[in-house]
Amino acid sequence: MVSDRHLGLKEAIDTVFIGATWQRCRVHFLRNSLAKVPRASAEMVAAGIRSIFAQPDLEHVRAQFFEATKMLRAQFPKWRPCSKRPEKTFWPPAVFLRLVTATRR
């Protein structure tokens, strides 16, 4: 399932779709992230965040997440990642598709 981080919706997904995987919507994640930085820096910040999504596996996702987070926090003190657990937000497409396929059987 892909959705925004609405807690009621996430709880309903966990309750109704037992065993389903969940990923934060990239659009909502980017919008929330870009709201905390100056408009002139938005493209640079978006590129940094997209670099996390582009990683081939969760090991690389974690490494890129912590590197990008460190860089963005240094430049934009108000910016915070929406999650401290990157595997809940930044699933590489191959991993997400594998999980979705496994849960659809």
pLDDT in tens, 42-83: 999 899 888 887 888 888 888 888 898 888 889 888 877 666
pLDDT of residue 61: 82
Q: Tell me which amino acid residue 35 is.
A: A
The contacts of residue 33 (CB under 8 Å, 6+ apart) are 45, 46, 49, 79, 81, 82
16: helix, strand or coil: helix
